[in-house]
Amino acid sequence: MTRIPGDLVLVRGAGDLATGVIVRLVHAGYRVVAVETPAPSAIRRTVALSEAVYAGEAEVEGVRAVRCAAVPAAWAPGDPVPVLVDPDLACLDSLRPAALVDAILAKRNLGTRLAMAPLVVALGPGFTAGVDAHAVVETNRGHDLGRVLLTGQAEPNTGIPGLIAGQGATRVLHAPRDGRVETCCAIGDTVRAGDPLLTVGGEPVASALDGVVRGLIRPGYPAHRGLKIADVDPRCVRAHCFTISDKARAIAGGVLEALLRLGAP
């Protein structure tokens, strides 16, 4: 069912967690526009609609997105999600969205304000409900994941990846230096501890554990030291590499709750 005019939701970001939000909102009947940077650094690229920036289009769980210079004038149900390269939100005045969702997950506020839309929802730390956004959705793994906060802040960034099958920091790889990325494997490949996953500026980066490669930054990406570049899933379920994660679904549920609870069309 398509909602009445005024149903437009503008989502800042189209990485894997933002994609979980976009897919759920599309399935709930909202029209969604995503805005991205010129060079997204998503590592879970098989479930990130930000890949449309590079490839022109992308599809995740039946929802297709297309890179556009502007939002099409005619927009029918089932049409692809427009992805605009517009990190500064130059489109905001012309689109006048009913709601804006900050799904950048930068762990800080990169300019989102209450005045940007009648309803503003922000994900994770860096925002205060009632100050930067009307609602904040918890993104930290644990008991409160996906909880909608109408006052206060999400839990602070710990800098430590959440545990998956008992593995936290060991499952996520970061660039050891600045340099161009070259990959040695593909998302979905099974690896063992010590296997090289990629090189950064010619320096090999190896997996610290056995598992399946769930995330791998785009080959050729100009990485900077400390950038997240790969993710190895110790559960070894290859299908998980190509579907939206439990975390993304929980966060998306929180966003949908916030929109409905606070009066979005």
Q: Are residues 133 and 180 in the same domain?
A: no
State the CATH number of the domain containing residue 92: 3.40.50
Q: Are residues 108 and 208 in the same domain?
A: no
pTM of the model: 0.92
**Is residue 265 predicted with pLDDT exceeding 60?**
no
Instruction: Count Cβ atoms within 10 A of the Cβ of residue 52 and give its class: 0-12 exposed, 13-18 middle, 19 or more buried.
Output: buried
Per-residue pLDDT, 3: 40
Q: Are residues 119 and 180 in the same domain?
A: no
Per-residue pLDDT, 158: 65
Using H for helix, E for strand and C for coil, what is the string for 31-84? Answer: EEEEEECCCCCCCCHHHCHHHHHHHCEEEECCEEEEECCCCCCCCCCCCCEEEE
**Is residue 163 predicted with pLDDT exceeding 60?**
no
Q: Are residues 186 and 218 in the same domain?
A: yes
> Which domain, by its residues, includes 112?
8-157+246-261
Q: Is 261 helix (H, G, I), strand (E, B) or coil?
A: helix
Q: Are residues 96 and 146 in the same domain?
A: yes
Are 201 and 224 contacting, i.e. CB atoms less than 8 angstroms apart? no
pLDDT digits (tens, 9 = 90+) for 193-219: 999 999 999 999 999 999 999 999 999
Give, as one character, the DSSP assignment of residue 24.
H
Does residue 239 form part of some domain?
no
The residues facing 82 across adjacent strands are 66
Alpha-carbon distance of 65 to 71, in angstroms, equals: 12
Does residue 113 form part of some domain?
yes
Residue corresponding to tokens 């936290």: 168
Per-residue pLDDT, 77: 73
Alpha-carbon distance of 42 to 47, in angstroms, equals: 9
Q: Which two tokens stand for residue 202?
A: 């010619």
Q: Are residues 228 and 135 in the same domain?
A: no
**Number of domain units in the chain:** 2
